[in-house]
Structure 1
Amino acid sequence: MTAPGEASRRKPARRPTIKDIARRAGVSESAVSFALNDRPGVSRDTRARVRRVAEELGWQANSAARALSGERADCLGLVLARPARTLGVESFFLQLVSGIQEVLSARKTALLFQVVEDLDTECALYRRWWAERRVDGVLVVDPRTQDPRPELLAALGLPAVVIGGPATPGPAAEPPAPHPVLSTVWADDAKAMARILDHLHGLGHRRIAHVAGMPGLAHTARRIRSLRAEAGLRGLDERQVRSVTTDYSDAEGAEATRRILDAAAPPTAIIYDNDVMAVAGASVAAGRGISVPGELSIVAWDDSPLCRVTHPRLTALVRDTPGFGRLAATELLAFLGGGPPRTVQGELPHLERRESSGPAPHYR
């Protein structure tokens, strides 16, 4: 009979080794290695017997040992250099990772995910992963306006797919220039911003504010640039259109909204770079007795359940974020399989018009 507490002190079960398989199958350890690694040197019957015994014992290849021998690690890396506190409130990355994981699970490939403090730490991590052969390739998020990562990854020879385009691409419909050794999947933020401006300008809005994301991110710069360009095409100048940057959190989204509404000539419409800040902005407006959309229209860049349960429901850009993740993962696996580096465009989001956007107060 087992004494109290004995079970908790038991050692974990020992993992089966090549020696165990060799003993059970009645062959040498080198024969087991040949059979499990699909190398010549053993008969078909021996190969089948070794694999059957390995399966019975629950043996799995050691990924670290395989990597050191020059074989694939069957693992991809993803590093996020953002304040950890912002991850719990923004749904974009959860959806992106779910799409990535959907593809990798089907290919029995693991995802090594790590959150770090800054870009220098991220670059150091890539160097360590490369030296230890921990990953076969990496998915790079949040391209910067000044970004050392593409050059570093190219120098290391670590395959990568960059998710997102540069800060200042060419004309609105022109994709970013292809990198000689890295693939890119990108979204056309200029056309997405044009859809929002078409909607708001058509409703008579001429004073429009933009609560943007983190400064230094390429897509933040790209959206600000696109807003100015699209506003200029519609006869609006910088006195009528402005952008402010935040950390994507509800707290900074609310504070930015307060500052914007305190301006001498406050806007009649605000565009928020994510759903959480849009909901926070709507709450600030309600607290001040500002009617949405009667006095202020609100548009969220990213749709989510939050946008659909808030009253009034928020007009938002609807995009397939999990699909974007699937596209990035598929592209990296293709690259690892010997495909060329490519630049691939994701699906253009559409604007879902809901109750939070309406005619400008002076346009009725």
Structure 2
Amino acid sequence: MTSPPPGGPPQRPARLTPVRRSTMKDIARQAGVSESAVSFALNGRPGVSEATRERVRRVAEELGWQASTAARSLSGEGTATVGLVLARPARALGMESFFLQLVAGIQQVLAQRQLGLLFQVVEDLPAECATYRRWWAEHRVDGVLLVDPRTEDPRLDLLDSLAMPTVVIGGRPGHQGSAPTVAHLWVDDSAAMALVVDYLYRLGHRRIAHVAGLPELAHTQRRIHSLRTEADRLGLPGAHSLTTDYSEAEGAAATRRLLDGPQPPTAIVYDSDVLAAAGAAVATERSLTVGRGLSVVAWEDSVLCRMAQPPLTALARDAVALGRTAAEQLTGLLDTGTPGLVQFEAPRLIVRESTSAAPPPGG
């Protein structure tokens, strides 16, 4: 048995006094304003002057104040979390880089605001709607980012009935409806398709086809309509679209159908990089030289487009910036309660070796 040290039994170490967290009451006392003014200032809401807002934020920073997610939820102020649901075929979604970049941009903004992202992938639209109902019932999110707007979209009426602040990425009031809690981030797919058709026409292509994505998506329908409109304007009666589920298999199958037709196209526009790569592989199987025998254009430039042989001409937009813009729009909607319409910059066409002048008739 170990003997106690001289002078008596060992002393217990003194307990550390926990550091007290600063509260809104502390900030109000030091800034000389009411607690409600502190709440307005820290949450970006109207009701206080800019001078007061700046003073409150400066005091909060000096005191090391941080919003408590649990306290916000219990007080009914919110969950400090926003939601994103993707209803896409799992086999197709796993190959798309666009959504990864979109989420990266969203996270950049949410991290600055110390907001979380609740992300879920589901099989279909009913499962997506069920997710929103569950999140609302469980107070899981303060708002949602909605992707892949449909031509007939039940999600908007549902989210409106739940009074759920929402930003529709790729949506526009009047096409997908409007509601007091719904904001829209508009991307002009029609103008982008017109740009591609005009470019191919100037190269001499008169048989232009389009391998599209899911037919129920609003942006798919806008691209199809734009192709038909431009074809009518330019006198291209053979221009048409085939829809797919965005998978490599359906992209390849659609390309085979087009190339096996009585008048195969000399140029094909694909709605994603994966579809375009699959189509280029089919062309190679048929001993067609991509860029000479068949011109290929991809929507959504990516590493896949740049590494293909030959590299693929593509429409490019900054998907990370699109995600940031959507998240900024949603946080603004949560702060002010005022929805709006933001138009994102138009895609630009990056010309590479997969497009060239149309082959001569019979060539």
TM-score range, shorter chain: 0.7 to 0.9
The question of 1:88 aligning with 2:74 is answered no
Structure 2 match to 1:350:
348
Contact 2:104 2:320 in 1 (8 A): yes
State the Cα distance separating 1:43 from its structure 2 match.
7.3
* Counterpart-to-counterpart distance in 2, 1:144 and 1:41: 46
Give the partner amino acid of 2:216. G
State the Cα distance separating 1:36 from its structure 2 match.
4.9
Q: How many residue pairs are counted as aligned between the two chains?
A: 315
Give the partner amino acid of 1:39. K
State the Cα distance separating 1:40 from its structure 2 match.
6.9
The question of 1:296 aligning with 2:294 is answered yes
Structure 2, unpaired ranges of 5+: 1-15, 31-59
State the Cα distance separating 1:142 from its structure 2 match.
0.5
Contact 1:187 1:345 in 2 (8 A): yes
Runs ≥4 in structure 1, deviation > 6 angstroms? 40-44
CA shift digits 1:302-361 (9 cap, x unpaired): 111111111111110011111111110000000100152101100111111111111111
The residue correspondences of 1:274-289 to structure 2 (distance < 5 A) are 274-289=272-287
Structure 2 match to 1:172:
none
* Counterpart-to-counterpart distance in 1, 2:127 and 2:247: 23
Structure 2 match to 1:16:
none
Structure 2 match to 1:326:
324
The question of 1:224 aligning with 2:224 is answered yes
Structure 1's 167 and 246: CA in aligned 2 closer, same or farther, altered over 3 A? farther
State the Cα distance separating 1:38 from its structure 2 match.
1.4
Contact 1:67 1:134 in 2 (8 A): no
TM-score by length of 1: 0.81
State the Cα distance separating 1:71 from its structure 2 match.
2.0
TM-score by length of 2: 0.81
Structure 1 match to 2:75:
69
What's the secondary structure of 1:337's corresponding residue?
helix
Structure 1's 280 and 233: CA in aligned 2 closer, same or farther, altered over 3 A? same
Structure 1's 75 and 204: CA in aligned 2 closer, same or farther, altered over 3 A? same
The question of 1:106 aligning with 2:112 is answered yes
Structure 2 match to 1:11:
none
128, 132, 135: which one aligns with 2:138: 132
Contact 1:205 1:269 in 2 (8 A): yes
Contact 1:213 1:247 in 2 (8 A): yes
State the Cα distance separating 1:72 from its structure 2 match.
2.1
Contact 1:100 1:326 in 2 (8 A): yes
Contact 1:73 1:135 in 2 (8 A): yes
122, 147, 150: which one aligns with 1:116: 122
Percent of aligned positions that are identical: 56
Structure 1 match to 2:359:
361
Root-mean-square deviation (Å) = 2.6
Contact 2:273 2:299 in 1 (8 A): yes
State the Cα distance separating 1:235 from its structure 2 match.
1.4
* Counterpart-to-counterpart distance in 2, 1:222 and 1:328: 21
